[in-house]
Amino acid sequence: MAIDPENPIVRVLADAAAREATEPDAAAAAYRRAWDLATDDYERCMAAHYLARIQVSEDDRYRWNAVALEKALAVADGRADGFLASLRLNLGRSLEDLGRMDEARAEYGAARDAARELPEGAYRSTIEEALDRAGRRVGQ
């Protein structure tokens, strides 16, 4: 399923992401607002993903990446399925950054499995290339 560009949370996140590099405080506030306004697990998984990106501490980044994946897995209608490889990749990186290598390897393996479900194309290739780099870092 494609992301609905008319969804109000998607619009807030997209606008904030476009400003993240030049207006990081405004983007961070918008990501927090998106989390507060989210009405379901689909919207919460997207907001949590963006909140993870702006965290300074590895622990906080891990926490938000874990929340993003948890919320995506709770979406029963399949709308978040296309996010799973990326969310698992991000969670794996957080685990790696925390020195939890066995868990990171497991998450990267799950990300690779999820990536196989993605259609061929640039997005899938980007995920697979990132997983190849991750695998080299963690000896997978």
DSSP one-letter code for 22: T
Confidence at residue 71, expressed as pLDDT on a 0 to 100 scale = 98
- Provide the CATH number for the domain formed by 8-138 in this structure: 1.25.40.10
Q: What is the pLDDT of residues 33-84, one digit of tens each?
A: 999 999 999 999 999 999 999 999 999 999 999 999 999 999 999 999 999 9
User: CA 140 to CA 121: how far, in whole Å?
Assistant: 24
Strand, helix or coil at 45? helix
Of 36, 30, 75, 78, the closest CA to residue 50 belongs to: 30
Q: Does residue 1 carry a pLDDT above 60?
A: no
Q: Is the dihedral of CA 13, 15, 18, 22 positive or negative?
A: negative
Q: What is the mean pLDDT of residues 12-39?
A: 96
Residue 10's CB is within 10 A of a number of other CB atoms, namely 17
CB 26 within 8 A of CB 19: yes
User: pLDDT confidence of 125, banded at 50, 70, 90?
Assistant: very high
The pTM for the full model equals 0.94
